[in-house]
Each structure stands twice: as structure tokens, then as C-alpha cells.
A and B are shown apart, each in its own frame.
Chain A
């Protein structure tokens, strides 16, 4: 979510709450002879409030599962998730008095820091990266549709080349020049064979596996050079087909870029979500153990 002026209300509210909590904590810490403790009334209040905020922040996942429920706009939940989730860290720190003894609490705090950090990293990614996606992937498609679109592009490229070279077996790289065929673009047999060979050796492998590391056509500059050299090599009637093939390769590159950016946009959730669940569970365990024992 983009952090902008629309968050002003939440920022003010969270800041006021943080300020009030800090004042309370300072007063409590100064007046408490043995220092701030989680088990004291104020410490428990901080802990319960902090955990409640953590729970609220965690509920956004459940909220997304029921999009039609009219229990508040999802964006309101998201803003609350960010700011109240962050505030919960402060309250939990005040709850423990900045001293976390015992393995469970130490683990909890490490988890907490990672969750908050990953959350803010995610928020920053979602603040900046959508713009990057919009600018760098003008031909963006639906992420789940990418394999399908790629198959269509391969088919389109094969058809384009077939219009010049006639039908071809794309499974194997043929060494023999194409036999006499009916084509839409009339060129010499020799040129046809050369074009077919170039397509099967240089372009088709990239279209078959566009995410292959170090693929020649995956680099825009290199691809431009390749297609320029092909234009010099091949006769003019084929140039229009080459232009189309170049555009197809560009679309493939954009899809690679989209996949990369999409992974950035959503990859951080692989850390944030499981650790948040672990944090909430362990936090609950900690609460039960602390109150019971």
C-alpha cells in the first residue's frame, strides 16, 4: 500500500497513542522501585493492549478471505494493520521494560522485530515497486496468464516464420533446406532456408525457454544487435516478419521483468506471513504461561 497523505489520520492517531504510552511508561518506570515489569498492572496492560493490536493486525489475512463481508473497507483494515501493528511493537517493548529474559520471550522479540521489519520492507516495496512495474512493463498481463500468453507468442512466432518458410518442425532443428512450399512472402529458396535456420537456432530456443539464464535475446541491447544483423543478412521482404519477431521477444522480456517485479511485490510475504502466525501463536503461549505460572 502506498504511504501517502491518506495515512495522515492513522499516523496522528498512532503517534498520539505512542506518545501517551511513552509518557505512561516513563512515569511508571520512574516510580517503580524495581523497574518496569511485565507482570505489573501497567506492564500487563501494555502487554494485553500490544497483543490485541497484534491480533488485529493479524486479522487482515482473515479479512481478505471474506471480501464481501461489510466489516469495513479493506483499505481501512490495511492502514490499521500498518500503523497499529507498528504501535504494538512499542507497547510490547514497554510491556517487557526493554528486558526480555527467557528463551521464549527472546525468540518472541526476535520474531517480532523480523515481522515488523519485513512488514515495513513490504510496505516500502509496495510503495515504490508498483510504479516501477507500470513504467517498465507497459505490456503487463495477468501474472497467472503468463504461461498461456507465452504459448500464444510462440505459436504466433511459428506462424510468422511459416508464412515465409512454410511449415516446419519446431521440435528439431532441421539441417536440410525447406522443400518447395506455399508461402505468403515470396523469397528465394536459399534465403528461406537461411531464415528458417536462424529462427530455429537463435530465436525459437529463447521463446521456448525465455527465463533461461544468459539467454542471448533476454538482453534488450543484445537482442537489438541480433535483429539488426539479421536485417542485414536477410532480404527486405522478410524484414516485416523480423520486426514482429523482435516485438515478440520484447514482450517476452517484459514478461520476465514482470515476473521479477511481481516476485519482489509479493515475495516478502513469504517471510512476513508465516513469522506473523508463529509470533501470534507463541505470543498466545507466552501469555498463557506467564499468567498461569
Chain B
């Protein structure tokens, strides 16, 4: 290739033909300022800051104009500097100064240029309509206000990483960068590689710097991380910026990695060795005893396992869902995890308590990582494929069979499904399907919680919350082919998606599965219909806003009878070993107080987030807490009415300091009002000396509220 000879700022230079003026100047040590141009990206000449005089009628953008033979270029004439200064002033008028990058590292390229040009106050007015921020990504903050539309991020995403996520949106005044079809960054197909962030010249795309604390453990070099397949596509700059967010941990055999019920914010990836995952809390529920058989026998609470008291529907239970790629077998809740297994995702992504205790079965090496790193590697196709393959291989079978109505699927059919199901992820707030959409899939919840709702004249009406092991989509597939409700991800949700074709194949091949699904679809439809009918027939706003329409049973106190003697509270405490499940406070309706006591809601919020899914509803709709409750207390926090308590018990546990010996430790179990099912009448009601305390069916009660009270009627409600 022949050379061209030209003059730049009076200096004669020779460069190969096809070289741009910008590169020619750079090669000979002549600086030309620029914003939109980077060496590793195709020049586009959109910012025009690199304008030079090249002998033409107008100034040329040096980054795109090719050098020509005998060309005379001036990079710093008065005309050039005036034009450049005006351009920078115009850009600064649209730029929040100091932007996030300038604040963080004092190196916003635009503000640096403005400072060099001595621009403090731009002559031009600022735009009035804000362009907004996007904080949906865990790792990158997007400030559209600071974006100068240089397209460096777009070229970084498309040309360098080939992710093709970023592009332009809008035109003229409304132009901006967009992720996919203008989705929030966190909801887009962005893999959080960080290339856009490191390409951005301003504070429009910045690292969120979520890593304020240093995790205990051995820091991992970026180079070392990038040698691992699942970190290979992650930007080195991003890893450098977040180097405290992933550490290597060494665990000796027998050492505890994490304990159930603890709140954490990290996930673990096993590099070497094996870990044992188990439940240390006794598999038992709180049982109230005594009282029913004799006049004077006192009620006591004790822990009762499945052997002592088998509760409704418990016989079908085969496994306990935990935050790991495997479920725990019910009869022996212990499992082993090995290299390549990731656990603690729910804790890390949604800050739920740990669902199980993990102990090193051999000497182990693990990566412990924070949410931003987990998010990035989960978006990494290599690792995602590896984790999904692990799940298909080891957990899908158990997961499908943990749903009682799928228990009859044959291993052959599960093998067919194994390769056909799709594993999909949704971030918080994603609408998985909308009411009225074509029903094209059946979903099984693998991780997180899904809200099922319907629009309602008074607002959204929640029909159900589905956690791990829950499923939806069968009504549409078995019925009219349209979704009957809207399903939304409440947090980080992972689903097993069975497409309509496989679903229909399954229900044709297994008539009992079809029969069960049809029965369930009918029951759900009927329940939803009744709930909607109740909601629309109740004129009381508070009845709806307080969630009382959700209640199965309310403890109400007639305040014109109640002398505030608290006999009910004392009686409840007396019946439950000093732990009252009733507080004489709550919402008032007319002269009635709806006391704080479990309402056995139809859609209990307490179930949302239970890391082991141990709250369920009996067929009688009573909310009960399962044997595998780990006592983390999240349900007590989630109950909007403060109606769940934690009951402490002393249990014996292996003493880590003295192998072979046991020590007494306090373990908690969640409890809620059990309606004193041992008795014909709840103790609080029985012990009220003033006929003020009553258990009522809320629908009956509120329907009749406002009409004169007749004691006989009231008594019939209790």
C-alpha cells in the first residue's frame, strides 16, 4: 500500500493510504481532542469535536476524514478552536456537571475537555425535559442525562462484544441509547459484560460500586478469574472494579459454610471438594397438647414430627425445596454438592434467609460472590448452560416429582422432557404472562416467587403467590387457550417452561396427570370466581385495603363489651407456653376491633419468600407451618398483620467443640394461631368473661356489619 504525504500543523508527515487524519496526527504526536472516537471502534464522527481544517469548504471530522496526498491540515487554528469550543459548550449545556464519573474518578472526558477549554458556564440554556436514569441493572447505572450520544457504548456492545443489545432510540431532541427494544437495562438481554461502561466517555454508564465491604477470603486476580470459562466474557475492567465482590474461600472438612435461617448476601460456587447440605432444625411442627381430655390439664406446646402427627396431605411429600440445585429428600434431608454447583442464589439475588446448612464434606475450595458478580455470570451463556445442564441432570426429575400430580410421570417421559423444557429467568417486576395472552406454555417455579393476579375495579386482585414447586399456565392450556390471569415475578425468578406441545403430549400420555390438572384448574377457577365475587360485593374500602377479604377467620372484639382486661391475651399465652399469638390491637370497624391474630388469609403474604416453602394451606384452608420450618422468621416479618410468632425450643445438637457429645441449643419454629383446634372453641374466646371476643367468618361478619347486632346471630357466627 502506497503512502500519502501531507502537512499537519506545519509538520510534514507520511502515512499509509487510508489512514485518517486523526490517526495520522496521533502517529506523529499531534493531539486532536475527541469524544466519540476510540482506537478499537469504527469511527463515526458524531461528536465533531475532532474537527480540523483540511482545505475544504467546511471543517472536517479528523476521525473519519482520510488523509490525502498533499493535504494541509490545521488542528488548532482560531476557526477550529472556536468551532470546537462551541461544540463543547453545546454538549456541556446538556450535561449534568459534575456527572457521576467526574464525581467518582474525576475523569469525565467531556468535563476534562471543557476545563481545558476554560468553559465554566455554557452560554446555552439547559434542556428542560429530563431524560432520566435507569437503575434496573445490578451493576451499571445508566444516566441518560449525562449521555452525549457519542455511540461508543453501542459500538462496544456490537463490534467488540457482539452482544447487539445497545442501540439508539428516538430522534432529534428525544434521541438516546436503548437496550433491546428500549427495555430497562436490568430487564434486557444485556449480559453485563461492562464494555459499554468502560467505553463511555462520561458518567452516562458507570459502575454501581456496590462493593463497599470486603468479603472475608482470598482475593482473586482478574487474570485468574478470566482463565475460568464462565468469567471469560466478562469485561476485565468490570472485574477490576468489582474485585472485592468475589473471593476464594477454603473450608476444612466439617467446617460450616453457611447456616439455615441466617441472612446473607452471597452465593457460593464450588471449585473443588464436596459439601453436604442439610437441615439442622428438627423436622417437626409446633403441636399444642392437652386440655381436650381433662378439665384441668394444661395446654402445652411441643415439637411433633411426622411420626407423632401426620398432617393432611403430608403423605405425598417427597422432598424439601432449598436454595441449591438439588432438593432434600424428606425422610433423610441431606444432599451432596460438588464442583460446578452453585448454591445460595435466592439469598444472593433476593436477600432471602439461607434455606439450609452447608458443611464441607471434604476440604473444599469455593468462590463466594456478591450479587453483582452472580448476576453477571448468570448472564454468561457458558456458565448458564453449565448450571442449566446440572439442573436438568440432577434436579428436574425431583422437582417434577415433588409436585404430587406429576408423581406418576415415567422416567422415560421425564427423559423426553429433560431436553425439551426451557429454563427461563425473570427479574423482579417482569410480567411473565398477561391475562388474555395466548397460552403457549406451562410453568413450574424453580426459584423465587410469582404473583398471580387479575385486574379488578378497585385495583389489582392477587389470586395467589407461587413459590418453588408451584406451577401455573394449566388453566389456559386446558381451557380456552388464553391466559386467565397475569403472572408477575416478585423477585429473581427461575422457571421451568414446558411448551404447549410437550404439555399436551404429557396430558395425553398420562390420563391421571390430565385428570389431576383439570381438577386443579377447575378448583382454581372456582376459587378465583368466588374471590372476585366477594371483592365486588363488599362495599367497605377498608375491608379490601386491610386484606380482610382474604381472611378465613377473624378474631373480633366488641369494643362496647370489652373492658380491656386482656383475659384473652393471657389465656392465649397460657395456652401456648407463654407465647401469645394474639395482640389486642388492630383495625377498627364500627365498634369492632379486628385483633392481631392469624386470619388464615386466602393468599397469605407470609408464604412469600419462605426459603424452604414450609408454610402451606391445609385443605380446610387453615394456614399451617410445616415440619421443615427452619425458624428464620421471614414469614413473621412478611405477615402484614404481625400474626406470626417464633416459638423457641431447646433441642440437642452435636457439639462441634466436643465431637460425640451433644449440647442444648435454642431453635425457633414459626407459629401462628392454631384456632386451638384441640378445643371446641379457641381459648381466647372461651376465656373472655365479657362476651366480647369472637371468632367469625369475615364474609358473614362484614356483610352483617351495620345492621343491629343480635347476640344470637353473633354466637352463630363464632
Contacts and interface: CB of A to CB of B under 8 A. Distances in A.
B571 A2 contact: no
B689 A1 contact: yes
Interface string B98-123: 00000000000000000000000000
B584 A142 contact: yes
Contacts of B594: none
Interface in B548-566: 559-566
Interface string A102-123: 0000000000000000000000
Interface stretch (B37-45, B220-228, B290-298): B290-298
Given A67-B574, A131-B560, A73 B690 contact: no
A232 interface: no
Given A1-B690, A64-B689, A74-B688, A130 B570 contact: no
B686 interface: yes
Most buried by B among A74, A133, A138, A141: A74
Contacts of A73: 681, 686
Contacts of B691: 1-2, 6, 75
Contact of B575 (A5, A68, A129): A68
A2 B690 contact: yes
Contacts of B559: 130-131, 133-134
A64 B295 contact: no
B690 A142 contact: no
Interface residues on B, range: 20 to 34
A68 B565 contact: no
5 tightest A-B contacts by CB? A67-B571, A67-B687, A74-B689, A134-B559, A78-B689
A131 B585 CA distance: 17
Contact of B561 (A2, A60, A66): A2
20 contacts: A1-B563, A2-B691, A5-B711, A6-B711, A60-B689, A64-B689, A66-B296, A67-B570, A67-B575, A67-B686, A68-B574, A68-B575, A70-B292, A71-B296, A74-B567, A130-B560, A130-B564, A131-B591, A134-B560, A134-B591
Interface string B675-718: 00001010100111111000000000000000000010000000
Contacts of A67: 567, 570-571, 574-575, 683, 686-687
Most chain B CB within 10 A, of A5, A70, A126, is at A70
Contacts of A5: 711
B690 A75 contact: yes
Interface residues of A, number: 31
A265 B563 contact: yes
A133 B690 CA distance: 16
B381 interface: no
Interface in A34-83: 60, 64, 66-71, 73-75, 77-78
B583 interface: yes
B62 to A, nearest CB: 48
Given A4-B711, A134-B560, A266-B563, A75 B689 contact: yes
B687 A126 contact: no
Main secondary structure of the interface of B (DSSP, over half): loop
A67 B676 CA distance: 13
B561 A1 contact: yes
A68 B564 contact: no
Interface of B: 291-292, 295-296, 298-299, 559-567, 570-571, 574-575, 583-585, 588, 591, 679, 681, 683, 686-691, 711
Contacts of B295: 69-71
Contacts of B683: 67-68
Contacts of A98: none
Nearest to A1: B690
A216 B566 CA distance: 33
A143 B295 CA distance: 32
Contacts of B570: 67
A70 B566 CA distance: 19
A71 B687 CA distance: 10
B496 to A, nearest CB: 48
Contacts of B690: 1-2, 75, 78, 126
Given A67-B574, A68-B687, A141-B585, A130 B298 contact: no
A133 to B, nearest CB: 7
A80 B571 CA distance: 20
Contacts of A262: 564
Contact of A68 (B298, B588, B688): B298
A35 B711 CA distance: 47
B8 to A, nearest CB: 54
A126 B563 contact: yes
Contact of B299 (A68, A71, A134, A138): A68
Contacts of A133: 559, 564
Given A5-B711, A67-B683, A78-B689, A130 B575 contact: no
Contacts of B560: 2, 130-131, 134
A71 B690 CA distance: 16
A239 to B, nearest CB: 28
A141 B585 CA distance: 7
A60 B296 CA distance: 16
- Most chain A Cβ neighbours within 10 Å, of B291, B688, B689: B689
A39 to B, nearest CB: 37
